[in-house]
């Protein structure tokens, strides 16, 4: 008997990725965040072209100059200068490397290491797995900044040690979330079905489970990135991170703190830059999270 | 519950043990002489140093050294500060009091404001009130706390003059430090200008408290909102509606108790975020707490102090996590088995 | 007999990304006081939605329209939420598919039961109130066949088996003596023994209190002996209504006929031959046929079936088909 079902218009449900994309595009705030982040990234890459001056160039005739819209401001320094007569805009543009580029690098390294260990741990059972879980619980309950502080105290405050500290601090977070995702995914029916089909452990890990935890990894990545940015900036702010005269945003803020009475504007641009970067990353991560949650419903 | 508590206590002691090994190992990793890093006694040739070396069994095996280290910790002999020559343990108690004051007040503000705001946002889902609360909380959540502290000082202390810039109390009010918590100290002291001192302390206190509370507050709002929304979708809430219960009854007797559960489970994480902020806020406001003390000790390479601060903060977090765990298991008994199974 | 629930031309449309979908299309239902009415339909045919609409579980994305949605001559659609909830709370109760999820996971069973009992018509105060509550709980639980009352009262929903949880929801439904009980596949996930126990308790409520019941089920065979009338629903449209015996022995609608032949009620089916089934499958909610939704699968369908057939009444029976299987006398 021929079935008549093929005369119906076949409705094709959109794939998960399409759904997420749709949800993304629906929300104007998310689209804005997406573009703002892209602009910040571009500004970071092309800082030498965009910046009007070198970040270390000191103008002795223009010390602590207010921004251009202020009556005393000058057009050549749009956002004013700091107490050594350096152009704030140029410093912030160059500073994006320290405050966004290095955290990005640290997060990528931490992600690669963390995901590998997490996946391995997620596939193992018994004592091995539970020891790791409890150990991670302990490490994670200690704030990342505190751990980073201890590492800096051992190795001394330089750019390298800050990078090492931040990477080390982020790894447990990745291990934890990937491990948990693997753990819940592993006992689901579809994995059992593949196991019964005789798939190898390696195949299970890469082809069966991993595609299903991509969302967890992506969310964790955005979360880790914003933590890394804030932690590097916080270390810089405390004077234990990237050392002056590097135009790191946290260090710039710490410097502006000393001149709060005289030139309050010097904390404007670095703060806004930091805030916008973290905000856009958070918005993207948040909406991704929500899109994935919506799918599960 | 008894079995559960026992297993948690066991886990807690193992954690403390790991922590002690970690801090013990740090003494060897820090630059300089391990014994000096541990005890704060300087000068290899002095008799005090020799004496301390015998006390801490520095010539013996590493295990005996560890044993002596633990014994000293338990006795409250945490070494002396390299910069001030003060015993670390007594200094730590005062700093702990000051930090706890901020932590407790900050979390209280976060909970008192966060719970109703989060619930309100959930009940007004997708309406403008919800959108306003959520936009505000997402943006404040992304503000770096040190920048926010600076802005707050700039606005409230410098422009408006509602609050002093930094410190715990005006130095003219000579209040003897007993607990470290300024409000308690004023109450305990027997000076006759207590009222004025109290008001002055409050003026110093409110701004850092608000700054500390801000980030836990926004996280709490978001967590409560999503937990309440999830709970409202659950079948038993719908069933309660069909049974004709009023919205208020359902909210207070069914929705909130269920919604608090996931929030309470995450509260440990919130606490460590709070501690991170405490460290920075104390530096910005020059607050004599653990965080500022710790950061200063890193600058001064004052390792006994660094170790004391680290131990104290880590233990504070672990104790808070432990308490939250027990509270969670006590309030939501059916989650015990699940946690045990892990 | 008076009609207790009167539904005429009820349509529920859902807002979906691809526009409005009528998941329930012009549905009619009249429940007589004290009857047991069974509503049969395949999964996704809108049965549960109907039950939810009656009880007022309404989601913001639903668009509900009806010529009538009357409960004892009161228009339910015209009421505000509070009023409606009052009426549903007093007069109706519902029993669900997976009972454990309809109990608050963080309250002991005893407390949940006393919350329901607190709304019992009797009003007691103080210590007496507690004693009376306790006694009522014992009575209720005994009635639904739970012996170990203390143990059950002290446990949380997760600790109970599905059978016990369903008995408890029966007890909760019973507590305030509703006039109407809607049971949405109350035992679908349970074994045969528990299932019979639960049905037995439900039917006892009907005989003892004259409680009107709307039973919702997927398959024809489950609740046959006790049912007085039967409604068949396909893809959101009412196919046929009538007294059980007549519908079963002499189906008027091709759908009923097909359902009967597919089920094992039909003993005339010769062994070792193909089980007769309808061609095709249930249309998805995105591609609903116009007119009679059975159209593309119906063995008797003709061109006119793209227009919606009117609901025809013949004596006690009603059906919506252009080509019914029974004779309609011309004067009807």
- Option in C279, C284, C297 nearest A11 (CB): C284
pLDDT attached to residue A280: 92
pLDDT of residue A210: 84
**Pair C100, C193 in one domain:** yes
Q: Where is mean pLDDT largest: A4-13, A130-139, B245-254, B319-328?
A: B319-328
B275 CB within 8 Å of a chain A CB:
yes
Which residues in chain B have their CB less than 8 angstroms from residue C105's CB? Answer: 236, 258, 334
Mean pLDDT, chain B, whole residue set = 83
Of C124, C107, C173, C157, whose CA–CA distance to C134 is shortest? C124
Whether residue B237 has pLDDT greater than 50: yes
The predicted pLDDT at position C246 comes to: 82
Q: Could you tell me where the DSSP H helices lie in chain B?
A: 2-29, 34-39, 47-55, 62-75, 88-123, 128-142, 145-152, 182-188, 194-232, 235-242, 247-249, 256-284, 290-299, 303-331, 334-341
Is pLDDT above 60 for B309? yes
Task: Write down the pLDDT at residue B339.
Answer: 45
Give the C-alpha separation, C314 to A243, whole Å. Answer: 92
In DSSP terms, C16 is beta-bridged to: C19
User: B137-141, B194-198, C277-281: which has the minimum mean pLDDT?
Assistant: C277-281
pLDDT of residue A107: 94
User: Could you give the CA distance from residue B143 to residue B281 in angstroms, rounded to a whole number?
Assistant: 13
Q: What is the pLDDT of residue A114?
A: 92
Output the pTM of the full model.
Answer: 0.81
> Which residues are registered as beta bridge partners of C41?
C233
Pair C215, C142 in one domain: yes
How would residue A241 be classed by pLDDT, with cut points 50, 70 and 90? confident
Which ranges of chain C have pLDDT less than 50? 331-332
Residue A253 has pLDDT above 80, yes or no: yes
When pLDDT is cut at 50, 70 and 90, the band that residue A1 belongs to is: very low
Same domain? C201 vs C281: no
Q: Which of residues C202, C227, C252 is at a domain's end?
A: C227
User: Does A69 reside within a domain?
Assistant: yes
Q: Quick one: C19 and C143 in the same domain?
A: yes
The pLDDT tens digits for B124-137 are 888 888 888 888 88
Of A42-46, B57-61, C185-189, where does the model show the most confidence? A42-46
Kindly state whether residues C97 and C210 are assigned to the same domain. yes
Tell me the CATH number at A137. 1.10.3720.10
% of chain B surpassing 90 pLDDT: 5
pLDDT for A112: 94
Nearest to B280 among A234, A275, A278 (CB): A234
Structurally, how many domains does chain C consist of?
Answer: 2
Measured over the CA atoms of residue C150, residue C155, residue C157 and residue C163, the dihedral's sign is negative
Per the structure, the complete domain to which residue A266 belongs is given by: 19-296
Asked if residue A1 is part of any domain, the answer here is no
Mean pLDDT of chain C: 80
Of C227, C252, C285, at which residue does a domain stop? C227
Average the pLDDT over B163-182 and give the result. 76
Would you state the pLDDT for residue A279? 92
Q: Let me know whether C240 and C186 are in one domain.
A: no
Find the CATH number of the domain harbouring C213.
3.40.50.300
Question: How many Cα atoms occupy the beta-carbon half-sphere of A132 within 13 Å?
Answer: 23
A5 in a structural domain? no
User: How many domains in chain A?
Assistant: 1
Does A273 reside within a domain?
yes
**Cα A78 to Cα A84: distance, rounded to the nearest angstrom:** 16
Could you tell me if residue A184 is inside a domain? yes
Distance CA A284, CA A35 (A): 11
Can you give the pLDDT at residue A11? 59
- Asked whether residue A12 is assigned to any structural domain, the reply reads no
A184 part of contact set with chain B, CB < 8 Å: no
Q: Indicate whether A3 pLDDT > 50.
A: no
A13 within some domain: no
Residue span of the structural domain in which C324 resides = 232-266+275-332
Average pLDDT, chain A: 82
User: Is the pLDDT score of A9 beyond 70?
Assistant: no
Give A7's pLDDT tier (boundaries 50, 70, 90).
Answer: low
On the question of pLDDT at B342 being above 60, the answer is: no
Burial class for C302, CB neighbours closer than 10 Å (0-12, 13-18, 19+):
exposed
CA dist., res. B55 & res. A38, Å (int): 61
Q: What is the pLDDT of residue A267?
A: 82
Confidence bin at B58 (pLDDT 50/70/90): confident
Which residue of B141, B145, B272 is in closest CB contact with A282? B141
User: Do residues C179 and C212 make contact, with C-beta atoms less than 8 angstroms apart?
Assistant: yes
Residue where one domain finishes, among candidates C169, C204, C227: C227
Distance of alpha carbon A60 from alpha carbon A82, whole angstroms: 11
In angstroms, the CA A117 to CA A205 distance is 12
Phi, psi of A72 (to 5 degrees): -90, -5
pLDDT category at A128 given cuts 50, 70, 90 is: low
> Which range is least confidently modeled, A234-243, B333-342, C151-160?
B333-342
Is the CB of B147 less than 8 angstroms away from the CB of A257? no
Whether pLDDT at B187 is above 60: yes
Residues of C in Cβ contact (< 8 Å) with B257: 104, 106-107
- What pLDDT does residue C332 have? 44
What SS3 class is residue C37?
strand
CB contact (8 A) between residue A271 and residue B269: no
Residues C193 and C291 in one domain: no
C166 and C85 in one domain?
A: yes
Question: What is the pLDDT, as a whole number, of residue B303?
Answer: 86
Rounded-to-integer distance, Cα A258 and Cα B236, Å: 57
* Residue B331 scores a pLDDT above 60: yes
Tens of pLDDT, residues A202-236: 888 888 888 888 888 888 999 899 989 999 999 88
Does A59 score more than 70 pLDDT?
Answer: yes
Residue B31 pLDDT more than 50? Answer: yes
In this prediction, residue C264 carries a pLDDT of 64
The pLDDT score that the predictor gives to residue A167 is 92
Tell whether A292 is covered by a domain: yes
Residues of C in contact with A8 (CB under 8 A): 283, 287, 289, 296
pLDDT number for residue B336: 61
């Amino acid at each position: 008997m021929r079935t008549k079902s093929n005369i119906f218009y076949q409705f094709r449900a959109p794939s998960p990725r399409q759904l997420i994309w749709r949800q993304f595009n629906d929300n104007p705030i998310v689209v804005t965040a997406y573009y703002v982040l892209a602009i910040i990234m571009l500004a970071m890459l092309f800082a030498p072209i965009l910046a009007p001056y070198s970040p270390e160039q000191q103008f002795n005739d223009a010390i602590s100059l207010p921004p251009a819209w202020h009556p005393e401001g000058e057009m050549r320094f749009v956002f004013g200068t700091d107490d050594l007569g350096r152009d704030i805009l140029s410093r912030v543009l160059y500073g994006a490397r320290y405050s966004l580029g290095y955290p990005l690098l640290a997060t990528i390294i931490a992600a690669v290491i963390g995901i590998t260990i997490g996946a391995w741990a997620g596939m193992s059972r018994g004592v091995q797995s539970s020891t790791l879980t409890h150990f991670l619980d302990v490490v994670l309950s200690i704030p990342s900044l505190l751990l980073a502080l201890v590492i800096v105290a051992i190795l001394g405050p330089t750019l390298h040690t800050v990078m090492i500290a931040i990477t080390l601090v982020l790894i447990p977070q990745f291990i934890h979330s990937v491990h948990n995702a693997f753990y819940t995914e592993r006992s689901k029916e579809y994995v059992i079905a593949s196991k019964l089909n005789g798939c190898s452990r390696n195949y299970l890990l890469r082809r069966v489970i991993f595609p299903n935890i991509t969302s967890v990894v992506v969310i964790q990545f955005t979360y880790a990135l914003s933590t890394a940015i804030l932690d590097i900036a916080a270390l810089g702010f405390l004077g234990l991170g990237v050392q002056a005269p590097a135009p790191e945003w946290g260090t710039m803020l710490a410097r502006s703190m000393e001149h709060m009475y005289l030139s309050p504007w010097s904390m404007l641009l670095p703060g806004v830059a930091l805030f916008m970067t973290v905000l856009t990353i958070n918005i993207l991560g948040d909406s991704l999270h929500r899109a994935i949650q919506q799918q599960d419903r | 519950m008894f079995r559960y508590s026992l297993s948690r206590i066991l886990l807690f002691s193992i954690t403390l043990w790991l922590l002690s090994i970690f801090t013990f190992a740090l003494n060897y990793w820090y630059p300089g002489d391990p014994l000096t890093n541990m005890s704060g006694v300087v000068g290899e040739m002095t008799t005090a140093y020799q004496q301390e070396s015998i006390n801490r069994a520095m010539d013996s095996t590493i295990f005996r050294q560890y044993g002596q280290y633990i014994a000293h910790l338990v006795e409250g002999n945490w070494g002396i500060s390299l910069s001030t020559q003060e015993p670390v343990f007594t200094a730590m108690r005062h700093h702990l009091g000051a930090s706890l004051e901020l932590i407790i007040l900050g979390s209280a503000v976060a909970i008192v404001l966060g719970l109703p705001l989060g619930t309100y946002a959930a009940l007004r889902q997708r309406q403008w009130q919800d959108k306003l609360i959520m936009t505000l909380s997402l943006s404040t959540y992304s503000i770096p706390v040190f920048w926010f502290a600076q802005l707050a000082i700039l606005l409230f202390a410098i422009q408006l003059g509602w609050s002093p810039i930094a410190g715990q109390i005006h130095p003219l009010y000579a209040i003897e430090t007993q607990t470290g918590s300024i409000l308690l100290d004023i109450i305990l002291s027997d000076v006759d200008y207590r009222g004025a001192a109290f008001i002055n302390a409050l003026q110093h206190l409110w701004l850092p408290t608000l700054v500390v509370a801000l980030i836990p507050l926004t996280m709490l709002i978001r967590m409560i909102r999503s937990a309440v929304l999830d709970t409202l979708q659950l079948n038993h809430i719908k069933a309660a509606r069909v049974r004709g219960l009023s919205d208020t009854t359902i909210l207070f007797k069914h929705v909130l108790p269920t919604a608090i559960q996931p929030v309470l489970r995450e509260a440990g994480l919130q606490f460590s975020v709070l501690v991170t902020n405490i460290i920075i806020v104390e530096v910005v406001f020059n607050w004599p707490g653990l965080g500022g003390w710790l950061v200063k000790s890193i600058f001064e390479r004052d390792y006994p102090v660094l170790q004391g601060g680290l131990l104290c903060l880590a233990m504070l977090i672990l104790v808070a996590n432990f308490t939250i765990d027990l509270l969670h298991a006590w309030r939501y008994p059916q989650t015990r088995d699940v946690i045990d199974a892990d | 007999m008076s009609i207790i629930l009167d539904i005429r031309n009820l349509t529920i449309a859902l807002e979906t990304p691809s526009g409005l979908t009528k998941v329930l299309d012009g549905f009619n239902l009249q429940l007589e006081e004290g009857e047991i009415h069974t509503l049969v339909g395949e999964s996704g045919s809108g049965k549960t939605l109907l039950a939810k609409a009656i009880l007022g579980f309404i989601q913001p994305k639903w668009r509900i329209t009806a010529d009538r949605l009357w409960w004892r001559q009161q228009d339910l659609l015209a009421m505000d939420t509070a009023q409606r909830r009052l009426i549903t709370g007093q007069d109706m109760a519902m029993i669900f598919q997976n009972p454990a999820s309809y109990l608050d996971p963080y309250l002991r069973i005893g407390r949940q039961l006393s919350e329901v009992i607190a709304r019992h018509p009797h009003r007691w105060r103080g210590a007496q109130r507690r004693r009376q509550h306790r006694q009522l709980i014992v009575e209720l639980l005994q009635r639904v066949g739970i012996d170990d009352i203390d143990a059950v009262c002290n446990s949380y929903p997760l600790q109970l088996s599905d059978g016990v949880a369903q008995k408890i929801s029966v007890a909760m439904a019973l507590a305030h003596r509703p006039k109407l009980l809607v049971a949405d596949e109350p035992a679908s996930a349970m074994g045969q023994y528990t299932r019979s126990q639960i049905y037995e308790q439900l039917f006892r409520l009907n005989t003892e209190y004259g409680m009107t019941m709307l039973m919702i089920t997927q398959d024809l065979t489950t609740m046959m002996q006790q049912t007085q009338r039967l409604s068949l629903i396909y893809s959101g449209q009412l196919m046929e209504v009538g007294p059980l015996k007549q519908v079963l022995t002499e189906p008027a609608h091709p759908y009923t006929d097909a359902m009967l032949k597919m089920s094992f009620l039909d003993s005339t089916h010769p062994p070792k031959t193909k089980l007769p089934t309808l061609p095709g499958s249930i249309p998805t909610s995105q591609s609903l046929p116009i007119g009679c939704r059975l159209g593309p699968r119906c063995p008797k369908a003709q061109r006119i079936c793209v227009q919606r057939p009117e609901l025809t009444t013949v004596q006690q029976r009603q059906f919506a088909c252009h080509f019914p299987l029974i004779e309609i006398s011309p004067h009807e």
